[in-house]
A and B are shown apart, each in its own frame.
Chain A
Amino acid sequence: MKKRSLAVIGTLLIMVAIMAFSLDTSKKTVPIPVIKKDSLVSVAAFKQVYTVLMSARCMNCHPSGNVPLQGDDSHLHTMLPKRGIDGKGVYAMKCSNCHQPINTPGLHAPPGNPNWHLPPANMKMVFQGRTPNQLAKQLVNPKTNGNKTMQQLIAHADDGLVLAGWKMGEGRKLPPMSHAAFKKAWITWIKNGAYAPASK
């Protein structure tokens, strides 16, 4: 009887050990992009990033309200199209009704992208009006950044809609630096700890 009890306990211990080992292995597969902590380098890089995110090409689709912005002066989009639940507009006013898969040629013609949309209603990811401190914190928090991990944030620099900001068609001012310079600053910010500038 005693031997049988010991055998049962031993088997259970082995099973628990195997489960613990497998859980530990799954944790090890999560990449950790932050390779060093350097708040000065990180904050300096974010200040560059911020100038791009607050430029019309990025901010116009990250409005504080439910109407996208338009133009180099970021005025409310004419016709007042609404965000909708999924960020793709409502009824007869869906983004892709006018915004084609590619830019429509000509001044004042709609720029295009196959994935044209605003952030969804349940996570608006607002840029407009955010201070550097607020925006940096918002960007690193999965609850406010579109559920992105740090690795996914790094990859987001090459997202098709982000890249479209540098190919927005005739007559539209480009972001204040090249995409390569932006990407470098973005990754420098994240890999040095993704620090937020002081709120002052």
Chain B
Amino acid sequence: MITLNINKKTYHLDIDPNTPLLWVLRDHVGLVGTKYGCGVAQCGACVVHLNGEAVRSCVTKVSRAEGEKVVTIEGLSATNTHPLQKAWLELDVSQCGYCQAGQIMSAAVLLKENKKPTDQDIDDAMAGNICRCGTYLRIREAIHLASELQGKENSK
């Protein structure tokens, strides 16, 4: 039996500790916002937060997450109003949308650690998240906008 804390909820699961966290999220817990892309940590579609770090859940065994805090795209904001989510909607970032949960989760770590990222900071943080539709320029713009929104929210 493995105990997991996902999006502030506790789950007790009878599961092989070698199971990738992504499989557990999608197939056992029913949180399908996180996507399967490559399965070998090359694309970033499966990024979730493990104790605040943007881990790739396709290669992270569920045993690594036991007793730790996991946050998925569903748990980033209870009301879907994280500054990144607002900015993504404002600028219509998504095209097909498949990679966007991973993009947002990676960007959230960037904005947590760097409140006003430059274009270079964004490139450094996001270079591991691939988008086949090529929405990179809108992603960059949305991260800048989210940075502004975050600043305004924090100054209230």
Q: Which residues of A contact B (CB under 8 A)?
A: 78-82, 90-94, 96-98, 100-101, 104, 106, 108-110
Contact = CB atoms under 8 A, between A and B. Distances in A.
A64 to B, nearest CB: 18
A74 B124 CA distance: 20
A92 B126 contact: yes
Contacts of A79: 42, 127-128
Given A78-B42, A91-B109, A101-B64, A96 B128 contact: no
B64 A92 contact: no
B53 interface: yes
Contacts of A101: 64
Interface of B: 40-42, 47, 53-56, 59-61, 64, 105-107, 109-110, 113-114, 121, 124-129
A91 B124 contact: yes
A136 to B, nearest CB: 34
Given A92-B54, A100-B64, A110 B41 contact: yes
A100 B110 contact: no
A132 B110 CA distance: 40
Contacts of B105: 92
Contact of A92 (B41, B47, B60, B61): B47
Given A91-B121, A110-B59, A97 B127 contact: no
Nearest to B103: A92
